[in-house]
Amino acid sequence: MNFSARHPSALFDELGSELFSTLLSASQAGEEIFRYNYLPLLEKAAYWLQELPLERKTYAERGGALKFTLLSSLGTLRMCSGVIFAPSSDSEHRRLVEPQYRFAAFVASLCTVPLIVHHNVAVTVNGSPWDPFFGQGLYSALTERVGSAQYQVEWRPETHERPSAALAVLLISWLLSDVKWAQFDRTVLRSMVEAINPAGIQAPSES
């Protein structure tokens, strides 16, 4: 499969505005916070994933990984609606940390998808291997090339091994570099990192 660089706005246009409206509603964050906190991370994911597929058996089509990212994020936010976070805390503390837990669950879902992609897909940019964890995002790797840059995608050999969640540490340092984590409760952050689990994420429904 051969691909060219595409800006996140073009990729999002193809997915439709209704999906983003549904994500906004499920976040329960309000439009301003959603645009300031949630949307930039989705854009970073799009810079990273471009039109990569997810894996052989599910979302194997062009752009499948990004589509899966948005749908799995939506599913995660919907599940948060039925969860009582920090149930042993007083109401004031719960009021403070519940939005943090919801955002952290969203982040964990977001970080999990690239791990699945990297486990299943090998990418070359103009003939050179692209390693997402020790370099730059795919969009930057393409647009900084002189001339017309393209990338090629091949499936990695099938294996019984699971995607490594340990690589999430490298991914977080790039994807989440602009988030003000000092404002978050430490328990929330610990739960977020522990929730990054490629083996546990499910292929979501579009409904």
Q: Evaluate whether 120 touches 157 at the Cβ level (below 8 Å).
A: no
Q: What are the pLDDT digits (tens) for 29-42?
A: 999 999 999 999 99
> Residues of the chain with pLDDT > 90: what percent?
36
CA proximity to 106, closest of 161, 162, 21, 188: 188
d(CA 144, CA 148): 10
* Residue 136: band (very low, low, confident or very high) from pLDDT cuts 50, 70, 90: low
State residue 91's pLDDT score.
Answer: 74
Q: Which residue has better confidence, 13 or 183?
A: 13
Query: Per residue in 122-146, is it b (16+ CB within 10 Å) or e — as a string?
Result: ebebeeeebebeeeebbbebbeeee
User: pTM of the predicted model, to two decimals?
Assistant: 0.86
Residue 95 to residues 81, 85, 137: CA-CA distances in angstroms?
A: 14, 9, 36
State residue 32's pLDDT score.
Answer: 94
Chain mean pLDDT for the chain: 83
State residue 145's pLDDT score.
Answer: 64
Of 15-24, 109-118, 139-148, the range with the lowest mean pLDDT is 139-148
Whether the pLDDT of residue 125 is over 70: the answer is yes
Of 54-68, 82-96, 143-157, the range with the lowest mean pLDDT is 82-96
Residue 82 to residues 26, 37, 73, 75, 95: CA-CA distances in angstroms?
A: 12, 22, 15, 12, 15
Give one DSSP letter per residue of 85-104, joined into a string. Answer: SSTTS-HHHHHHHHHHHHHH
| Average pLDDT of the segment spanning 194-198 | 78
State residue 9's pLDDT score.
Answer: 93
| Average pLDDT of the segment spanning 135-156 | 77
Q: What are the pLDDT digits (tens) for 33-76?
A: 999 999 999 998 999 899 999 999 899 999 999 999 999 999 99
d(CA 169, CA 178): 15
CB within 8 A of 25, min separation 6: which ones?
none
d(CA 207, CA 37): 25
CA torsion sign for 93, 95, 99, 101 is: positive
State residue 207's pLDDT score.
Answer: 46
Q: Evaluate whether 6 touches 50 at the Cβ level (below 8 Å).
A: yes
